[in-house]
Structure 1
Amino acid sequence: FSGTGTNMFKEEGAQQGFSSVTKSIGFSTDSITFGTIENGHLLLFETSSSRKLGEGRDCAYRCQDLESGRELALKMYKITNPDQRRAIFHDLYAQRSQVGKHERIVSYERVIESENTIFVLMELLNGKDLFDVICTEALTEEKARVLFRQLLEGVQHLHRKQVIHCDIKPENAMLLGSLEDGTANLKLIDFGCSCFKEFEADSRGCVVYDSYMPPEHVADSKLSPSVPTDMWRLGCTLYIMLVQRPPFHNDAQTQAGLAARQAGQLFRVPEYEALSPEARGLIEQLICGDPSKRPTCDEALNHPWLGLA
C-alpha cells in the first residue's frame, strides 16, 4: 500500500487511511483497495471502476468489506479537485452530525482519507429511486400517502439536527421493499448540497438552481436556505408523485416562472383537479409563494390528508 492520508480532514471526522490502485492489463477496469486501522484492527475495502451504481458527477460505487464480505456504497473524491471540495465537506458533515442515524436517512458508515482520495462509505440501498417508481406507475393517493409520510419523517429528523437538505426531489429518495406487501421503506439520500448550520457560517452556496427552486431564492440570490426551502421542494415532490409531472411548466429563473411560483399558480391539469381536496390542500400549503406561510414538517405530518385511512 502507498498514499497514506495526511490528516488534512481529521478534524472534520475523516480517518487516516491508505489505498492502492491495480491497473488491469488490456482492460479499462481499475481495482482499488483502501483501508484504515481502527483500535489496532486492520479494515480493508475493495471496489473497481466497473462497479458504478449510477451516473453523474459524484456517482457512487459498490464496495466490499474484505473481512465480513458486506457490501457498501462508496463515494470517492479527489482531494486535489477544487470542484469537489464542497461535496467532501458536506459528506464529512453528514457523517459528523449523524444524519443517517434514522430509519428514513441513508446511513453513513465512515470516511477514510488516503493521500489523494477521500472514501465515503455508506449503507448500500438495493432499491429504486422514487423518480423511477413514479415513471413506472401512477401512485394512488393511498400509496403516495405512505411514502410521503416517510419522506416527511426523514426531513423532520434533518431539521431537528439543523440540517437543510436543499435538494429534495424524487431522484434523491430511495424506495426499499414493496408498497404491495407493506414493506415499503423510503430513505433520503445525497447531502452534497445540504446546509449544515452547525458547521457552516455561510450557507448561501447550498441553494440548488433547478426547476424545484423556491421563488424567494430566485428573487434574492443572497438568501440562505431555511426550513421553508425544503418544504417547497417537498410540495413539488408530492405534486409529481400524484400527477406524474412537475407543478410548473416555466423555468424557475425566468420572469414568468418566478411570477407563477410567487402566485402559487400550479399546472392545473385534469389529473391534479381529480385529486382529493385534502391532497390539493396540502400541496398548495407547501407550494406557497410566501415562505412564512409554508408548514413545518411537524405541521405537515398533522395535515388531514396524512390522517386519511
Structure 2
Amino acid sequence: MWQKFNKLGAGSYGKVHLADSPGFRIPNKVAVKSAALENSASLKREALFLKKLKGNPYVIQCYGEEVSQEDNEGMVYNVIMEYAPGGSLKDLITSYNNVMPETVVSGYASMLLRGLSFVHRKGVVHCDIKPDNVLVFPAQDGGLHRLKLADFGLSKRVSEEIMEFRGTPYYASPESMQSGMQGTPADIWSFGCLVLEMMNGGERIWKAEDRWEPQKPEYISECGKDFLGKIFVSVEYRWSADKLLNHPFIQQSK
C-alpha cells in the first residue's frame, strides 16, 4: 500500500503528496492527488481525462484511483499518478535565468506540441496550458528534460459547449476571454504564451496598449517570429498542433 509522506502542493482541487509505494506500483515513488470525497467532483473528472489520455509519453500518467479513510480528514478520494522529480516548467525556466536559448525552446516546444496533438486527437481541450501545469522529468539520453502536460482538472471534451471562461487569464486566447469559446485553438494560443515565457521569462509579453498583441523579443530569430505568427492570429487562421510540428522552428530541434 502506498503511503503519503511529503506535501508537494495544494490548490482548489485539494492536495498533492509524494508517496512511497514499495512493491505496489512502478515506479516506487508516486504523486497522490487528493480531495475530500464530498468535494472530489473536479478531481474525479480529471481522473477520467487521464484514463482517456493514457499511454502518451508527453502526458502525465495515471496509475489508478482509490478512496481512503484518513485521520482528521475522513473519506478521501485519491488519484495516483507519476511523480515529476524536476518540478514544473516554471522551475525549469527559472533555472535558465528566465531566458532559454532558442534551440532549447524549440526542443521543449516540440514535446509540448506532441502532447497537445495527442490530447486534441483524443477529443480533449486542456483549457489551462501554462508553465505550472507542465511537469519536468529527467532526460533519458543526456539531452533535454522530458516535459509532460498535467493538471487536467479544467479540461473539457471538444464536443462540450461550455460558453464560459476557464483557465488562467494571462494565457487565455481572445475568443475564450471575449465569448467563452474554448476549443483546441485556445490551447494553441496558451501554448504560444508559454513559448514566449520560455524565451523571456514572461517579462513584458503583452504590449500595454493591446492585450492581444504579444510583445516578441527583438532577439528572436525570423524563424521563431514566423512560428509565433502562426499562433497569435485570429482563431480561424491559427495553426493546429499537427501543423505547427512541421514548422521549421520545430524541425530544427530534431
Length-normalised TM-score, structure 1: 0.72
| Structure 2 counterpart of 1:25 | none
Q: Secondary structure at the match of 1:126?
A: coil
Alignment of 1:69-88 (within 5 A): 70-81=28-39, 84-85=40-41, 87-88=42-43
Q: C-alpha distance in 2, partners of 1:165/1:141?
A: 25
Q: C-alpha distance in 2, partners of 1:114/1:134?
A: 36
Larger of the two Rg values belongs to structure = 1
Pick aligned residue for 1:172 from 118, 129, 133: 133
The residue type equivalent to 1:169 in the other structure is K
| Structure 2 counterpart of 1:9 | none
Q: C-alpha distance in 1, partners of 2:149/2:223?
A: 25
Q: Does 2:151 align with 1:190?
A: yes
| Structure 2 counterpart of 1:275 | 220
Which 5+ residue runs of structure 2 have no aligned equivalent? 70-74
- Percent identity between matched residues is 23
| Structure 2 counterpart of 1:65 | 21
Asked if 2 retains the 8 angstrom alpha-carbon contact of 1:214 and 1:232, the reply is: yes
Q: C-alpha distance in 2, partners of 1:96/1:244?
A: 33
| Structure 1 counterpart of 2:115 | 154
- Using the TM superposition, give the Cα deviation of residue 180 of structure 1 relative to its aligned residue in structure 2, in angstroms: 9.8
Q: Which has the higher contact order (CA 8 A, sep 6+)?
A: 2
- Using the TM superposition, give the Cα deviation of residue 160 of structure 1 relative to its aligned residue in structure 2, in angstroms: 0.8
Q: Does 2:58 align with 1:104?
A: yes
| Structure 1 counterpart of 2:194 | 237
| Structure 1 counterpart of 2:242 | 298
| Structure 2 counterpart of 1:123 | 82
- Using the TM superposition, give the Cα deviation of residue 277 of structure 1 relative to its aligned residue in structure 2, in angstroms: 0.6
Asked if 2 retains the 8 angstrom alpha-carbon contact of 1:194 and 1:206, the reply is: no
The residue type equivalent to 2:157 in the other structure is F
Length-normalised TM-score, structure 2: 0.86
The residue type equivalent to 2:250 in the other structure is L
Q: Secondary structure at the match of 2:170?
A: coil
The residue type equivalent to 1:108 in the other structure is C
Which 5+ residue runs of structure 1 have no aligned equivalent? 1-43, 251-255
Q: C-alpha distance in 2, partners of 1:60/1:206?
A: 25
Asked if 1 retains the 8 angstrom alpha-carbon contact of 2:128 and 2:168, the reply is: no
- Using the TM superposition, give the Cα deviation of residue 267 of structure 1 relative to its aligned residue in structure 2, in angstroms: 2.1
| Structure 1 counterpart of 2:72 | none
Aligned residues: 242
Q: C-alpha distance in 2, partners of 1:180/1:88?
A: 34
Alignment of 1:83-94 (within 5 A): 84-85=40-41, 87-94=42-49
Q: Does 2:239 align with 1:284?
A: no
Q: C-alpha distance in 1, partners of 2:33/2:119?
A: 21
Asked if 1 retains the 8 angstrom alpha-carbon contact of 2:230 and 2:238, the reply is: yes
Q: C-alpha distance in 2, partners of 1:307/1:96?
A: 30
- Judged with a 3 Å threshold, the aligned counterparts in structure 2 of structure 1 residues 184 and 114 are, in CA distance, closer, same or farther, namely closer
Q: C-alpha distance in 1, partners of 2:191/2:144?
A: 22
The residue type equivalent to 1:260 in the other structure is R
Alignment of 1:200-279 (within 5 A): 201-204=160-163, 207-221=166-180, 223=181, 225-246=182-203, 247-248=205-206, 259-261=210-212, 265-268=213-216, 272-279=217-224
- Judged with a 3 Å threshold, the aligned counterparts in structure 2 of structure 1 residues 206 and 147 are, in CA distance, closer, same or farther, namely same
- Using the TM superposition, give the Cα deviation of residue 167 of structure 1 relative to its aligned residue in structure 2, in angstroms: 0.8
